[in-house]
Structure 1
Amino acid sequence: MDSKLVGSAKEEKCLEELKEIVKKNSEEFENFEWLLDDKFLLHFVRGKKYKIAKASIALKNYIRIRKHQYKPLFLQLDNFEESTIGIRNGAVSVLRHRDAFERTIVVINFTFWPDDMTVDQFTQALVLVTEECWNCQKVETQGVQLIVDLCSFGWNHLKMFTPSVVYKCVNIFWNNMPIRYKNIHLLNPGSIFEILLKGIKPFLPSTLRERLLPHSTDCSELYKVIPQENLPISLGGDLDDEDAYDTELVKRIYAKTEYYQRFVQSL
């Protein structure tokens, strides 16, 4: 065990328990032994608030979803020309500054959705961004704020986000990653998006429904959590895009080319 990674005796104990579970269920993690080092497992320990039963379920599902359930989607994850199109165009991004509670802020903006981007490419981009957020320990323990700007959400997007696609996204991102979306702020939700929300909301997990926070013309509640001085002008803030967004995000993802190539080869 790397003592530099572990912050407390409780954390060390939980990590050892999770490692023992992995050892006893080694067949579920076949080909991914290289991935399951202390640093990776601690993402799940911290992200699930030291509740090892939840951490182990999330870890098993994390691998199962990639190896079996949605394997075709993840087999293309290392094809960055395709999987990062949503990031390079600004449809999925991360703000440079944090919220009032030091949480990372991820932004989905349908205004910058490329005409030729598929919903799978969008999902891949969000996977890459979410996994990049893990590198901050505060994200592991405090979670992420998600802002979704729906100003340009149209009929073409509605056709893409079928119930099965929404189910896939919930399955990938909600309970089976070592990261918590504290709130999902829905900006400018128009009538077309309301059609989607009305259709899917009854089938969403109750905790997810509770964290969907719509903001129409009044964003004062959003600004209490995420100050305007930390937001770009396009989201009602004070910053231009260069100062607002993490412009090094794509570079950091590309720097992990070998990691994602090995990940895909392990599927």
Structure 2
Amino acid sequence: MKTHWESTAAKMTDTQHLDEKATQYIQEMRTWLNAQPYLPKDNIDDIFLLRFVHSCYYDIDKAKIAMEFFFTLRLACPELLNNRDPLSPEMQKVMEIVNLGQIATPEDECVWFWQLNDPGLEFYDYLLDAKFFMLSTDSYFLAKKTLPKADIVVLDVKDLSLKFLTKFNISVARKLAKYQEGAIPIRLKQVHLINASSAMDKIFGLMKPFLKKELTDLVHFHTAKSDTLYKYVPKENLPADYGGPHPPLAEQHKELVSVILSKRKELMDDTLWRAIPSDKKKISNPSPPIVSSFRALAID
């Protein structure tokens, strides 16, 4: 029996364009990659190369810039990418309080969900949360073969309070912001913070200096018991938690964890998709390229 994701994901590709140009894009990206001695060559299939071309709206030069930044930035983030066995006690800890999910919509979009279930933030760890984000997106890129027309992020911040400020890690936040803005190969369209309390203004104010204006302009806040989210994300594209017909996030989370575990061997490789260290190419804090992850995004 197919999972919810598998039964709907086939709809999520710019099929006509890729059918015509895919081979050309793959060949050019592969030739370029093979000519870069400091960039990795393992676990890079054709669809992975296409992700960068697709996320850059088929501008091959921008795709190369974005891909290089993806690899080099990961080299500078050992705290987010080392020692991340999904069966380890620390990763199991964060998986117990954070639910993640993904819904493929009829509009060829992917809605990414993050839900925190930790009232009082007794167990929350910002570094582990960021590490889990990297783990889950890596498993998505390893396992899924789809290229959504756009990506929408929904964050349920019902349990975030001012105590979050004591958990915040500025160094990790800077690197995570660079990764999300300039490296990750998706087409970010909207970011929604739902069940937002008044504390979110201060929390967002703390994080805003690390974010580009292009990203902050995509952020929308929705208070508890508000139906304003439906103006952007139709109810039929939401899980049961938020009034939609799809499985609740707790169930989707189990499916996502199963995908992570299926790719455990690759995810435990500390060199996965990282630039190769060398005396000539030392990278401690790479700067984002001119091309951000928004990549000339045409927002609907």
Normalising by structure 1, we get a TM-score of: 0.81
**Post-superposition shift, 1:90?**
4.9
d(CA) in 1 for partners of 2:250 and 2:78?
A: 37
Partners of 1:186 and 1:212 within 8 A in 2 = yes
**Runs of 5+ consecutive residues of structure 1 not aligned to the other structure:** 1-5
Paired position in structure 1 for 2:160: 153
1:3 maps to which residue?
A: none
Which residue of the other structure, out of 44, 48, 52, is the alignment partner of 1:40? 48
Whether the 8 Å contact between 2:86 and 2:260 is mirrored in structure 1 is no
Distance 2:258 2:60 in 1: 34
Residues 13-162 of structure 1 aligned to structure 2 (within 5 Å): 13-26=24-37, 28-29=38-39, 32-67=40-75, 69-81=76-88, 82-83=90-91, 85-86=93-94, 88-95=95-102, 97-99=103-105, 101-112=107-118, 115-134=122-141, 135-138=143-146, 140-162=147-169
Q: 1:189 aligns with which of 187, 196, 199?
A: 196
1:213 shift after superposition: 0.9
- What secondary structure is seen at the aligned counterpart in 2 of 1:61? helix
Structure-2 separation of matches of 1:221 and 1:199? 25
CA distance in 1, matches of 2:151, 2:226: 19
Q: Percent identity among equivalent residues? A: 22
One-letter identity of the residue aligned with 1:10: K
Q: Are the equivalent residues in 1 in contact too, given 2:240–2:248 (CA < 8 A)?
A: yes
Q: Secondary structure, in 3 states, of the residue corresponding to 1:148? A: strand
For 2:258, the aligned partner's letter is K
The residue identity in structure 2 corresponding to 1:15 is: I
| Contact 2:100/2:249, CA 8 A, preserved across alignment | no
Query: Partners in 2 of 1:103 and 1:12 — Cα distance?
Result: 24
Pairwise CA RMSD: 2.9
| Greater Cα shift, 256-265 or 192-201 | 256-265
Deviation at 1:89, TM superposition (A): 2.0
C-alpha distance in structure 1 between counterparts of 2:218 and 2:138, whole Å: 21
Identify if the C-alpha distance between structure 1 residues 260 and 181 changes in structure 2 by more than 3 Å, giving closer, same or farther.
same
CA separation of 1:207 and 1:92: change in aligned 2, threshold 3 A: farther
Distance 2:231 2:36 in 1: 45
Higher helix share: 1
Distance 1:227 1:244 in 2: 20
Structure showing greater relative contact order (alpha-carbon pairs closer than 8 Å, 6 or more residues apart): 2
Q: Is the 8 A contact 1:85 1:125 kept in 2?
A: no
After superposition, the C-alpha distances for 1:52-104 in whole angstroms (9 at most, x for unaligned) are: 2221122112221222x112321123354233543x32514104x43452322
Task: Give the partner amino acid of 1:41.
Answer: L
Count of aligned positions: 255
Change beyond 3 A, Cα 1:180–1:118 = same
SS of the aligned residue for 2:117 comes to helix
Q: Which runs of 5+ in 2 are unaligned?
A: 1-16, 275-300
Partner of 1:254: 261
User: TM (normalized to structure 2)?
Assistant: 0.73
> Cα gap change, 1:206/1:158 in structure 2, threshold over 3 Å: closer, same or farther?
same
Q: Which residue of 2 aligns with 1:173?
A: 180
